[in-house]
Amino acid sequence: MIAKPAPGLSHKSSKNNWALFGVILACGSFIASCGMQDNGAVTTDLVHIAATASKPHGIHAAQSFPVITFEDTLIHLGIIAEGHAEEISYAFVNTGESALVLADVSTSCGCTVANDWPKTAIAPGQGAEINVRFDSQGRTGENRKEIFVVSNTTPSTTTLVLTADVIGPTR
């Protein structure tokens, strides 16, 4: 014996399906139009932190920012023996018009450590150094390590590069 659905059940399900379809269609249209201009181009108008947008809105041209200027952003160590540690310094100057603050200095690998960098504000025209230690143990071959300096500049992250050709007993 086959049970029959209650009268009107299939009609009610059909109404619910159409209502659900309408809600999904409306949400999809809203989401698709979010952040787009009439011509369909995506803009930075929804970015609320103007310093991170490609075209800063609401920032006065007269407002001054710090500028971090490195003596060298790429340092070649050349050929070094495996197991040897190298200490490297990246010198920089605040060439902007307001105080420079380094929020963080991190590296791309555990073999490279930023062990000393300024923790206080650097006045315009003043300089400092970021000291990095590269440990070549177990790193034979060509090495490229990156150091990420996060500060109150635009852009907020500056990438420094360290390269070395590490030779060991088999190379």
DSSP state, residue 3 = P
Beta-carbon contacts of residue 88 (< 8 Å; ≥ 6 apart): 75, 77, 131, 132, 133, 134, 162
- pLDDT digits over 88-139, tens only? 999 999 999 999 999 999 999 999 999 899 999 999 999 999 999 999 999 9
What tens digit of pLDDT does each residue of 143-170 get?
Answer: 999 999 999 999 999 999 999 999 998 7
Using a 10 angstrom Cβ sphere, with 0-12 exposed, 13-18 middle and 19 or more buried, the burial of residue 151 is: buried
Model's pTM, two decimal places? 0.64
Q: Is the pLDDT of residue 51 over 60?
A: no
Locate tokens 């490297």: which residue? Answer: 88
As a whole number, the mean pLDDT across the chain is 79
Say how far apart CA 71 and CA 151 lie, in whole Å: 17
Residue-range domains of the chain with CATH: 11-36+44-63 (no CATH), 68-167 (2.60.40.10)
Sign of CA dihedral 75, 76, 77, 80: positive
Contact 152, 100 (CB under 8 A): yes
**Token duo for residue 67:** 């500028």
- Picking from 45, 37, 70, the residue whose alpha carbon sits closest to that of residue 157 is 70
